[in-house]
Structure 1
Amino acid sequence: MTARTESAVRLVILLAIGTMAGAAAFTHVHDLSVAHGQPHWIGWANAVAVELMAIYLGLELRARRRAGRPVGLVASLLVAFALLSLAAQVAGAEPSVWGWIVAAVPSLAFLALVKVVLSNAPVTPPAVKPQQPTLHRTEEPASATAPEPVRLTEPAAPAVPVPPAVVSAPAAVLPPRGVVQPNRPHVVGIIR
């Protein structure tokens, strides 16, 4: 079987299960609403709200995860609407364990189908790391004028006498800014 044929078969199965499970879940929510005093059109509105809200929340959950946004509220709402759908299925069932299980099948199938479809994210290639700059030692062209040498001057006598135990060391001599010494590689970003 080719990949295209397999995709077509999967789509037909998906549509068949989705249609039947969705119709059963919608009908159970509608019938429960009507049995408890709601008009028929409100029964259908309740069915649409409960079942489509679960699908929408699944989509929203997926979008938030992709964007790195918090999903706590959306996940809680999804569980709540799934439980409402399950409760509607079980409420009209024969009061036995098998009655409840069989009545819950359409809602569970519908929710499982939504979960499978929504978790089928396209495969994305791994992110390409930006290339790190390589340090190359380049020869700077000789400038037309040589930098002036730094002249050391004798430090002025301190206003406060220094105790004899403390010996002052000469200050480090750095080249002027922008001058690259030929025996040292040029490194960008060093703060002096």
Structure 2
Amino acid sequence: MIRERAESGVRVLILLVVGTMAGAAAFTHVHDLTVAHGQPDWIGWANAVAVELMAIYLGLEIRARRRTGCPVGLVGVLLIAFALLSLAAQVAEAEPSVWGWIVAAVPSLAFLALVKVVLSSEPATPPASEPDQPQGDWYDEPQPVEPAPPTPVMPPASAAVLPPVGVVQHNRPQVVGIIR
């Protein structure tokens, strides 16, 4: 139990560190690319926030929809689009060489890998609830119950008018279907 909690804590810590670093790099690249193409500084930050937080939100939305059984197709396409937009901004800001592009793509690729791992993991399911009775009680022999003394039962008023179930009266037409 302690080992599992420690591993879970380390996983969350790694997720936060990589996510923060990838987010910082991606925010910076989207911001710088926006400003380099003539937009004011505040719009550069607005674009960075929009692109990066949409990717995070869409990942969370996919997970929520999977839990409820809702379709995730459009949300998945949007997640890929925003991730590619972030990746494109990072590559565009890189030194124009193969290694420059690869190194610039690392934050987005790391983020995408983490999103894929987190979204593909099954959510924790609570353990099945324990029955109210101990297991031994369920398999005991049934105890005999003494029958109650017979009581006179009056037939319902409709029984005097209708024939018993299963009796066909040949002088009456049979109705099949639903009577409204």
Residue in 1 aligned with 2:52?
A: 51
Residue in 2 aligned with 1:67?
A: 68
Query: How far off its partner does 1:22 sit?
Result: 0.8
User: Would you say 1:176 and 2:164 are equivalent positions?
Assistant: yes
Alpha-carbon distance change, 103 to 62 in structure 1, aligned in 2, over 3 angstroms: same
CA RMSD of superposed structures (Å): 3.1
Aligned mates of 1:177, 1:127 — CA distance in 2: 45
Runs of 4+ off more than 4 Å: 125-128, 141-145
Alpha-carbon distance change, 127 to 2 in structure 1, aligned in 2, over 3 angstroms: closer
Aligned mates of 2:70, 2:9 — CA distance in 1: 34
Query: How far off its partner does 1:111 sit?
Result: 2.2
Aligned mates of 2:38, 2:44 — CA distance in 1: 9
Aligned mates of 2:20, 2:90 — CA distance in 1: 16
Aligned mates of 2:6, 2:124 — CA distance in 1: 20
Alpha-carbon distance change, 142 to 177 in structure 1, aligned in 2, over 3 angstroms: farther
Aligned mates of 1:3, 1:85 — CA distance in 2: 34
Is 109-118 or 96-105 further displaced after alignment? 109-118
Alpha-carbon distance change, 104 to 122 in structure 1, aligned in 2, over 3 angstroms: same
TM-score for both structures, normalised by structure 1: 0.63
Query: How far off its partner does 1:7 sit?
Result: 2.3
- Matched letter for residue 39 of structure 2: Q
Alignment map for 1:13-92 (pairs within 5 Å):
13-92=14-93
After superposition, the C-alpha distances for 1:20-48 in whole angstroms (9 at most, x for unaligned) are 11100110000100100111111011000
- Matched letter for residue 95 of structure 1: P
Aligned mates of 2:27, 2:48 — CA distance in 1: 5
Aligned mates of 2:9, 2:67 — CA distance in 1: 27
After superposition, the C-alpha distances for 1:118-142 in whole angstroms (9 at most, x for unaligned) are 33332337999xxxxxxxxxx9x98
Aligned mates of 1:66, 1:8 — CA distance in 2: 23
Alpha-carbon distance change, 65 to 3 in structure 1, aligned in 2, over 3 angstroms: closer
- Matched letter for residue 86 of structure 1: L
Aligned mates of 1:78, 1:45 — CA distance in 2: 18
After superposition, the C-alpha distances for 1:39-73 in whole angstroms (9 at most, x for unaligned) are 11110110000001001111111222222222221
Larger % of helix: which?
2
- Matched letter for residue 92 of structure 1: E
Aligned mates of 2:91, 2:24 — CA distance in 1: 16
